[in-house]
Amino acid sequence: MGTIFSQIIDGDIPARIVYENETTIAFLDANPLAPGHTLVIPKEEYERLNDVPDDVATDLYATVHRLVPEVEASVDADASTVAFNNGEAAGQEVPHVHCHIVPRFEGDGGGPIHAVAGDAPDLSDDELDDIAEEIDSRV
Ligand code: AMP
């Protein structure tokens, strides 16, 4: 039993599909934050970004890259916020990785991506150096 997005892919529930290729599909969000709010997903179900294999990740980005300007143009947007809620603690509700393309408009009252986290931490230079070294050592 897949998520609701797998049911869309299988045609079991309706969706406003705006683009589809062999490995990815995009459809309008059912509860749009803005006109044109679009979700882009891999057809195979992976829960989080890091679960997606490299080749599918490449396809997913290519679809996002292709759609962003067309979504913006379709609703005459000034910009867009493009983001993943990657994990439950980050607000991911549907455990099938999906990229939100949210068209943005001058004066729409929304915030930047900086507004999504809680209180900003007060990190010293040493702490920042340690974090950067830790990440660098892992990739
Ligand atoms: P997230 O919180 O990142 O997991 O976002 C899940 C998104 O899926 C929400 O913006 C929902 O509005 C959207 N959504 C849930 N069910 C459907 C559906 N059947 N068709 C289109 N979008 C959906």
List active site positions. 98
Going edge to edge, which strands form the sheet with 79-83?
17-20, 24-28, 38-42, 99-104, 79-83
- pLDDT in the model for residue 118: 86
Q: Checking DSSP bridges between strand 24-28 and strand 17-20, what pairing results, if any?
A: antiparallel
Centroid of chain to Cα 61? 10
- Out of 94, 98, 99, 102, give the residue to mutate to test ligand 1, the one with the largest number of ligand atoms within 8 Å of its CB: 94
pLDDT digits (tens, 9 = 90+) for 49-91: 999 999 999 999 999 999 999 999 999 999 999 999 999 999 9
**Segment 18-37 mean pLDDT:** 98
Model pTM greater than 0.85?
Answer: yes
User: Ligand 1: residues within 6 Å at CB?
Assistant: 4, 13, 15, 27, 29-31, 39, 85, 91-94
Q: What mean pLDDT is reported for the chain?
A: 96
For residue 37, which atom of ligand 1 is closest to its CA? 10
CATH number given to 4-138: 3.30.428.10
The pLDDT of residue 1 is above 70: no
Ligand 1 probe mutation, 5, 8, 17, 84, most atoms within 8 A of CB: 5
